[in-house]
A and B are shown apart, each in its own frame.
Chain A
Amino acid sequence: MLDILSDYWLLLLVGQFPQGPLGGIALTLVMSIAALLLAFPVAVAVAVARTSPIVWIRRAASIYVTAVRGIPLLLIIFWSFFVLPLVTGINSSASVTVVCALVVYEGAYLGEAIRAALDALPTGQTEASRSLGMSYWTTMMKVILPQALFNCLPSMMNQFVLIVKNTSLAYIIGSQEVTFSAHSINAQLLTKPFEVYFMLAGIYFVMCYSLSRIAKLVERRVERKRSGQLAVQGGRNSTLARASS
């Protein structure tokens, strides 16, 4: 395995770049980051819509989430592949298509994570803010979302790990990320499929495991801040919470 790694490390890392488009691990990470950044506003919108006081907005968002969660990501990728050129008029690359598919996908999943964080906030926060005369939107922007988004940072990091894993499907429509590189290597070597694919598994493992560890650290910091927040809600445990945090 190590000799395969030393022979093909460049292909695995950046694909055929600069002789071709960016590929390999670099493309995996670029796609993942792009998907997370673009999906984030969609997810926030979905989460706010899911908790909206207006019925039809709530329902529309629920239908979107149920539909996306009800079909495989692969199917969403195929839909994006043929719908995107029709909608935008341009034939975008496989990687861009996959990023769009992931944005639709994560809009629902990340949206649910943010919604859970919104629901978990004590109603007292909304009540206090509205009682001061602040409007629904001001309350959302200045009081509710800042807290909810901070609280769901661990979930967001977990979603990022999932995104990285999901980019492995991109090769099916022609994107040259790291799974594609592995297929190329296997096609060349032919006699060492186990080494090639186990090495691929190893590459993903290293990436995702490191990201999960970082996510755990973030989670610990958020937990510490949040136990302080419990003290803000009042109750006999307020002094106790202060003592423990």
Chain B
Amino acid sequence: MIEFVNVNKWYGEHQCLHNINERVDRGEVVVVCGPSGSGKSTLIRTVNRLEPINSGSIRVDNADVNDRSASVNELRSRIGFVFQQFNLFPHLSVKDNIALAPMNVHRTPRVDAIEQAMKLLDKVGLRHKADAYPAQLSGGQQQRVAIARALAMKPPVMLFDEPTSALDPEMVGEVLQVMKQLANDGMTMICVTHEMGFAREVADRVWFIADGEVLERSKPAEFFSAPVHPRAQKFVSDIRS
């Protein structure tokens, strides 16, 4: 579903991604973790070309992400992205936030787009907030709306860039709940997250990144009980303490 082939990225003199060669199969849930500054956010942002790469290729659903001749908008409409800072549109109501992209990209008629928005709000448990504005919602509620907004485009793959890092602790659970439900429904997901409980329960695989390199990739159970790479071992022991 998603393939990284020899991906390298430099930011000026600093190399932030080293020879990334990975793949994510359809229906897989991959959690990307690592110390801060490791490049995990950069990696996930290259998938929908929010960040360019210097060499190598990334393919999503058999389409080359960096193909200059293809429409980047078309590609992005098939990839769902959830931001750490939610980035809801403050001047639009919740349901308009969700309906905006289907109406403008897929040319969905407003009636259908709103109906779909309401269904998605049901799914994330926020139907009663349909007419509210983002400023009136808590962080956890805003993030759930952001997930619904991304789902409105019916993407085959969802990317999560530290979706709960900006939330107060008591709201983390409600967002993880939505993400778990998505995973159980068979969505292909890459999640950059610190939430190890989520990784243990839902992930099929964990990628450990440090200094722009994927140093270890294994099943969550193995990763958290017996990491192989010394840096991974340090990371796991740091989390425990």
- Residues of chain A touching chain B, judged by Cβ–Cβ distance below 8 Å, are 122, 124-125, 127-135, 138, 142-143, 146-147, 150, 225, 228-229, 231-236, 238-239, 241-242, 245
Residues on A with beta carbons closer than 8 Å to the beta carbon of B39: none
B85 contacts partner chain A, Cβ-Cβ < 8 Å = yes
- Residues of chain B touching chain A, judged by Cβ–Cβ distance below 8 Å, are 48, 50, 73-79, 81, 83-91, 100-101, 104-105, 133-136, 138-139, 142-143, 146, 149-150, 153, 166-168
Question: How far in angstroms is the closest Cβ of chain A from B239?
Answer: 21
B168 touches A131 (CB 8 A): no
A124 touches B87 (CB 8 A): yes
A134 touches B91 (CB 8 A): no
B139 touches A132 (CB 8 A): no
**Besides A133-B77, A133-B105, A234-B84, 14 other A-B contacts (C-beta < 8 A):** A122-B85, A127-B50, A129-B101, A132-B150, A132-B153, A133-B78, A134-B101, A135-B73, A138-B105, A233-B86, A234-B143, A235-B166, A241-B135, A245-B135
B76 touches A131 (CB 8 A): yes
> In the complex, what distance in Å separates the CA atom of A216 from the CA atom of B30?
52
B105 touches A143 (CB 8 A): no
> In the complex, what distance in Å separates the CA atom of A146 from the CA atom of B101?
16
> In the complex, what distance in Å separates the CA atom of A150 from the CA atom of B76?
28
> In the complex, what distance in Å separates the CA atom of A228 from the CA atom of B90?
8
Q: Who on chain A is nearest to B152 by CB? A: A132
> In the complex, what distance in Å separates the CA atom of A231 from the CA atom of B81?
20
A-B contacts, CB under 8 A, total: 111
Residues on A with beta carbons closer than 8 Å to the beta carbon of B78: 133
Residues on B with beta carbons closer than 8 Å to the beta carbon of A231: 134-135
Residues on B with beta carbons closer than 8 Å to the beta carbon of A133: 73-78, 101, 105, 153
B90 touches A232 (CB 8 A): yes
A142 and B104 in contact (CB under 8 A), knowing A131-B50, A147-B91?
yes
Residues on B with beta carbons closer than 8 Å to the beta carbon of A124: 83, 85, 87
Sample 8 A-B pairs with CB under 8 A, ordered by A number.
A129-B89, A131-B150, A132-B153, A133-B74, A228-B90, A233-B85, A234-B87, A238-B142
> In the complex, what distance in Å separates the CA atom of A125 from the CA atom of B87?
6
B74 touches A128 (CB 8 A): no
A128 touches B83 (CB 8 A): yes
Which interface residue of A130, A133, A143, A150 has the most chain B CB atoms within 10 A?
A133
B100 touches A232 (CB 8 A): no
Residues on B with beta carbons closer than 8 Å to the beta carbon of A233: 85-87
Residues on A with beta carbons closer than 8 Å to the beta carbon of B149: 132
A138 and B90 in contact (CB under 8 A), knowing A131-B76, A235-B166?
no
Residues on B with beta carbons closer than 8 Å to the beta carbon of A131: 48, 50, 76, 79, 81, 83, 150
Partner of B134, one of A130, A146, A232: A232
Q: Who on chain B is nearest to A245 by CB? A: B135
Give 9 closest A-B pairs by Cβ, nearest first.
Answer: A133-B77, A228-B135, A128-B87, A132-B101, A124-B87, A234-B85, A131-B81, A234-B166, A232-B134
